[in-house]
Structure 1
Amino acid sequence: MHLPFSYQKLLTEQINIPSKLINDYNGLDLNEEDLMVILQILNLQKYGELLPSFELIAKNMTINANEVANVLKKLRNKNYLQIEQLTDEANAQHEWYSLSPLFEALYDVEKESSKEEEGKLFQLFEQEFARTLSPIEIETISYWLDEDQFKPPLIKAALRESVLMGKLNFRYIDRILNEWKKKGVRSVKDVKQSSQNNQEVQAPKEKRDTSVYYNWLEE
C-alpha cells in the first residue's frame, strides 16, 4: 500500500541552511565536497550526534572516512570549525563541532568591505604617483595596514595631505601617519577635528583651504 506524502514529516526533517552559505561558499575557499561535509555535520547534530565520527559523516557521502578527516582538518586549519565543550540542561559536558567561526566569516561584511577598500587603496596610490608601485612601496602600505593597523581612509587622508603639501613621497606620508598615531588620531574625523583645533591657535602662513587638512610636520 502506497502511503500518502507527509508534508508534516518533510518540515520536521528539515535543517536550517543559510542561503548565503550555498551562494558564497566558494568565496571562503571551500569546494562542493567541503560544503557537503558541513551539511552532513549540521544534519547529524540535529539528531543528537554533536561530534559525529568520520565514518558516520561519510556514511551518506561518496567519499570515505579518511577523506572526511582531511576535509575536517582543512576546516579547522581555516578556523571555520572548532571542537568545543557544550553543557546541556542536566549540566553534563559534551564535545561538539562548532561551526560558529564559519558563519562569522560568512557574514563578516566589515572584513569584506575592508579588503575591498585595501585593494582600492593601492590603486589610488598608483594613480597619484602616476606609476606602478615598487615592491618596497607595496610592502610599506601593507605594513601600515597590518602592523600599524591604520584604516584605509586614514591612509588616504595622509596621501591627500602629502599631495596638498606638494610632498608626494612615502617617507613624508609615513611621517604624517606616525605623527597622527602619537596624537591619538585614528580616523578621518579625528584628522578634521585636530586640524581645526590647530588652525584655531596658529595663524595660517599662506592662503589655502585649511578646513580639512593641516601640515602636521610644521608645528
Structure 2
Amino acid sequence: MNTNNLNYQQILGNPISFPGILMERYTALGLNETEMMVILHICSFQQQGTMFPTTDELAARVTLSERDVALILRKLVQRNMIQIDDVQDSAVRSQAYSLNGLWNLVFQETVYPAPEKNTDKEEEAAIFILFEQEFGRPLSPFEIETVTLWLDEDMQPPSLIKAALREAVLMSKLNFRYIDRILREWKRKGVRSVEQARKESKSFHENQRPAAAAVQAEQQTAPARDVSVYYNWLEED
C-alpha cells in the first residue's frame, strides 16, 4: 500500500472530543470496556448532530446486538450516568442523551466505585428483565426511563410494579400507559403491597364482571398464549 497517497487531513478529521480523564477513571467508576465504547459512540453521534441515537444506530457501530446495546443503556440510566432529557427547539420537541451525570462522577474529587449489589438492586434489575420477557423485545429508552421513574421518583416497590404488569396481562392490555394507570390508581388509594393490590384487583374484577366476560370471550378466539404464571396471581398465597 502506497501511504504517500493518503490524505492525513481526512484521516484525522472529525475527531471525537471527550475528557481524557475518563480513560483513566472509567474502571474506578465501575465501567467496563464495552460500556465505555457505547458511551464514546454516543459522544460521537452527538458531536455529529444526532443527540438521541437509537439502539440500532449504536449497534451498527459495535459488535453488539441491539438488545445488548439496550441493556447497556438501561444500566447506565439506572446508575445515573446518562439521562434522557426533553429538548424544545422552536416548535419541535425531541429527546437527547445527557452525560452530565457521568461527567459529574468523573470530575468528583474522590471517585467512588460502583456500589455493591444488594437484594433491592437485584430486584429492580429483575423488573426490567421481566418486562422484556413479557413484551418479547428489548425496552426502548423511553420505556426504560418510565420504569426508572416508577422506581426512583414514584418510589413504587418492585413487587408492586410486577403486580401491575401481571394485572395488565390479565386484562390483555399490555402497554405502558395502562400499567402506569394501574400504579397511579393504586398509589391514590394507598396500595403499597402486593397483598393490598391483590385485594384491590379482586374487588375491581367483581365489579366489572360484564367487561371481564367480554375480555374472556375475546381471549378464546385469540391465539393460544402461555400466561398461566400471570392468570392465577390473584390467588397466590
TM-score range, shorter chain: 0.3 to 0.5
Ranked by relative contact order (alpha carbons within 8 Å, sequence separation 6 or more), the top structure is 2
> If the length of structure 2 is used for normalisation, what is the TM-score?
0.43
| Greater gyration radius | 1
